[in-house]
Chain A
Amino acid sequence: MRLAKSLKHALNILLHSKLRSWLTIIGIVLGVAAVVSIVSIGQGLQQNVQNRLGGLGADILTISPGGGRAAAGFRGSFGGGGGASGSGTTTTSTTSKNLTIKDIQILKLINGVKYIQGIVSGRGETYYLSEKATISVDGVDPLVWKDMTTSEIAEGRMLGPSDYGVVVVGNRVGKNTFKQPLALNRILTIEGKAFKIVGIIKEAGGGDDNKIIMQIAAARDTLDDKGGDNFDSIIIKTINPNYVDTVMAEADSKLMISRHLTSKRKDFRINSAKATQERLADITNTLTLFLGAIAAVSLLVGAVGIANTMFTSVLEKTKEIGIMKAIGAKNRDIMLIFLFNAGFVGLVGGLIGIGLGSIVSALLPNIGLRLMGNGGAISTVIKPSLLIYSMILSIAIGMIAGVIPAYRASKLRPVDALRYE
């Protein structure tokens, strides 16, 4: 029998199938819908993270003290809860040697470095209209900072070179930290010193949202333990993103030499937004895979359902199998008809499941479910590849589940099958 004919007869069996087959299909529908919607959440998360990190600039390198401390890698880039509670800034590790102006001078000479600056960062007790909050503060070189940062000003202006007593505040600091939103030209009292707000940064989803930014000299005078020449981090902007890797490698070796370090005693680490992005992509990928695998369990249950229904169906159609064999059907013909029948169950289940999963996935962002403390509602992304893979998966599951029942059907002896009532 030709393949097309086997397919036709398999479809015919499905079309004439009973409620039982449709219940089986529902099993697959739910499995596929779960996979599609959960993976779409994972992919939405991934895109979300990448959008946020993309704002950091792919051409930026951050050097921070501390030997291989993982947390430093996320410095100011990701995480941080609402308000002032959790910024990503890590305070200077007391155990490791700080970065100095000498390091900056060495790094400045590396080919590919466009801008470089040392940053002082810490947390300051901040009062606004007699309300208190502890907020991350970055002290930057205003001249370099305005060229390096990817943050944009929403209101007011950037810091100028001689702006000693003024600050620019991150969007979330401006809007959410205090009951009364901050406004331009208002005064903030940070660690007992008064600062005028001259600018508010546009919300970018990055670390700057939760920060107050001031001139480095002002930060040294204001924050505890920030006097002297030490920096909490050094930020390099390369000429373009292609230089990131080479600059990173060279910076690493130069700092090792100048600081007289062996790799075991390394007391700094270099991070690029790119590397962070890749690392986070890894994490979200794993998360997606993990969630998808959980959802896939329900698909497995659906597959068992298909196998079960196919066994019953073969039993029920024993007589018909006998008839078909009597009029010349070969074992292979019977095998294919039942295999395709199981494949169709998977196909139909997959199609409906994809539809249902897509609907669920489209509705999820609207029901206010929140994932990760960054305040954003769940966003979901359905890639075409997800739909194609789900489709292939459900057909494959159907056919795999149908292999043994179909094989059994094909091996029925025509004499016995014909006698079956």
Chain B
Amino acid sequence: MIKYFMKKTVKLKDRSNSSIIRLDKVWKIYNMGEVEVAALKGISINIKRGDFVAITGPSGSGKSTMMNLVGCLDIPTKGAIYLDGHDISQLSESKLAGIRGKKIGFIFQQFNLLPTLTALENVMLPLEFQDMPTEDARKIGVKVLEMVGLADRLGHFPSQLSGGQMQRVAIARALAINPEVLLADEPTGNLDSKTGLDVLDMMKTLWKKENKTIILITHDMNIASHANTQIKLKDGLVV
């Protein structure tokens, strides 16, 4: 596993402190029938490679919109988003899917595992979308599941796992593609506080040992305090 991440780690050190995601005067306006609602109002932020960033704010502050844009799930109404120096704000859905599949690992509040697939199959899925041969995908899948401490749960279905275990499978799935960015949306929201801390510890470890860029989106300031950098949103603006 270490070896698997070594290559990128070395590369990352060369470029440390360079920007991985940059938002330039980004607007997101939702059209709600007759009314237009601006969820983000010209936000500019810069997330550095290898940073652990918490994006916080009360509900309605634009957190979810922010996460969608940073995660390449959506494109802004106005403004530009640079990922690794490339403007992604005008790309088609298929191109965005390609970028997500290679560079971004998602961790959701609801875990979002596919219920009909085993833990290992869930972890292998993003690799299969990248056309990786099954054997290679299986090797990586087993490795990342070992890394999150679930080596003995490979064949279990999500329904046979506890909440903490499911979230660890989700982390393993996010790690499988060896992403540039780990994007976690309220990752502890559905876990009890102890399990939540375990998950946070695991993310910190990934940040420190593997030099991953981690973006944590949460409304909980206690959780956010684990991060290195804080970005606070309110009413669609950075405060």
Which residues of chain A have a CB within 8 Å of any CB of chain B? 1-2, 5, 12-13, 15-16, 319-320, 323-333, 413-415, 418
Expressed in whole angstroms, the minimum distance between the Cβ of B10 and any Cβ of chain A is 25
Looking at A2, A323, A413, the one whose CB has the most chain B CB atoms below 10 A away is: A323
Give the size of the chain B interface in residues (CB under 8 angstroms): 28
Expressed in whole angstroms, the minimum distance between the Cβ of A421 and any Cβ of chain B is 9
Partner of A1, one of B113, B115, B116, B129: B129
Task: Name B73-121 residues within 8 Å CB distance of A.
Answer: 73-74, 93-94, 97-98, 100-102, 106, 108, 112-117
User: Which chain B residues lie closer than 8 Å to A332 at the CB level?
Assistant: 94
Given the contacts A2-B128, A328-B102, A320 and B114 also touching, CB distance less than 8 Å: yes
User: Which chain B residues lie closer than 8 Å to A333 at the CB level?
Assistant: 129
- Is the CB–CB distance between B100 and A324 below 8 Å? no
Tell me the complex Cα distance, A247–B74, Å. Answer: 81
Expressed in whole angstroms, the minimum distance between the Cβ of A280 and any Cβ of chain B is 55
- Is the CB–CB distance between A328 and B73 below 8 Å? no
- Is the CB–CB distance between A326 and B131 below 8 Å? no
Partner of B116, one of A13, A327, A328, A329: A13
For this complex, 19 residue pairs linking A to B, each with C-beta atoms less than 8 Å apart, are: A1-B128, A2-B131, A13-B116, A323-B113, A324-B125, A325-B97, A325-B100, A326-B112, A327-B101, A327-B106, A328-B98, A328-B101, A329-B97, A331-B93, A331-B94, A414-B97, A415-B68, A415-B74, A418-B73
User: Which chain A residues lie closer than 8 Å to B129 at the CB level?
Assistant: 1, 324, 327-330, 333
9 other A-B residue contacts (CB within 8 Å) besides A331-B93, A414-B74, A415-B74? A13-B116, A323-B108, A323-B112, A326-B71, A327-B101, A328-B126, A328-B130, A330-B98, A415-B68
User: Which chain B residues lie closer than 8 Å to A13 at the CB level?
Assistant: 116
Expressed in whole angstroms, the minimum distance between the Cβ of A252 and any Cβ of chain B is 70
Given the contacts A2-B131, A12-B116, A320-B114, A327 and B125 also touching, CB distance less than 8 Å: yes
B169 contacts partner chain A, Cβ-Cβ < 8 Å: no
B219 contacts partner chain A, Cβ-Cβ < 8 Å: no
- Is the CB–CB distance between B128 and A330 below 8 Å? no
Closest to A15 in B: B116
Tell me the complex Cα distance, A249–B98, Å. Answer: 72
Partner of B100, one of A2, A15, A320, A327: A327
B145 contacts partner chain A, Cβ-Cβ < 8 Å: no
Across chains A and B, the number of contacting residue pairs, with CB separation under 8 Å, is: 73
User: Which chain A residues lie closer than 8 Å to B126 at the CB level?
Assistant: 327-328
Partner of B97, one of A12, A330, A415: A330
B23 contacts partner chain A, Cβ-Cβ < 8 Å: no
Given the contacts A415-B68, A415-B73, A418-B73, A327 and B173 also touching, CB distance less than 8 Å: yes
Tell me the complex Cα distance, A415–B97, Å. Answer: 12
Tell me the complex Cα distance, A293–B183, Å. Answer: 56
Tell me the complex Cα distance, A5–B100, Å. Answer: 19
Tell me the complex Cα distance, A5–B177, Å. Answer: 17
Expressed in whole angstroms, the minimum distance between the Cβ of A413 and any Cβ of chain B is 7
- Is the CB–CB distance between B73 and A326 below 8 Å? yes
Given the contacts A1-B128, A1-B131, A328 and B114 also touching, CB distance less than 8 Å: no
Expressed in whole angstroms, the minimum distance between the Cβ of A323 and any Cβ of chain B is 5
User: Which chain A residues lie closer than 8 Å to B115 at the CB level?
Assistant: 16, 320
Closest to B105 in A: A327
User: Which chain B residues lie closer than 8 Å to A5 at the CB level?
Assistant: 128, 134
- Is the CB–CB distance between B117 and A328 below 8 Å? no
User: Which chain A residues lie closer than 8 Å to B125 at the CB level?
Assistant: 324, 327
User: Which chain A residues lie closer than 8 Å to B106 at the CB level?
Assistant: 326-327
Tell me the complex Cα distance, A415–B65, Å. Answer: 9
- Is the CB–CB distance between B112 and A328 below 8 Å? no
**When each residue 185-215 of chain B gets 1 if its CB lies under 8 Å from chain A and 0 otherwise, what string results?**
0000000000000000000000000000000
User: Which chain B residues lie closer than 8 Å to A320 at the CB level?
Assistant: 114-115
Expressed in whole angstroms, the minimum distance between the Cβ of A9 and any Cβ of chain B is 8
Expressed in whole angstroms, the minimum distance between the Cβ of A356 and any Cβ of chain B is 28
Closest to A319 in B: B112
Tell me the complex Cα distance, A319–B100, Å. Answer: 17
Tell me the complex Cα distance, A414–B112, Å. Answer: 13
Task: Name B39-79 residues within 8 Å CB distance of A.
Answer: 68, 71, 73-74
Closest to B185 in A: A418
User: Which chain B residues lie closer than 8 Å to A15 at the CB level?
Assistant: 116
Given the contacts A1-B129, A323-B114, A328 and B177 also touching, CB distance less than 8 Å: yes
Task: Name B144-197 residues within 8 Å CB distance of A.
Answer: 173, 177
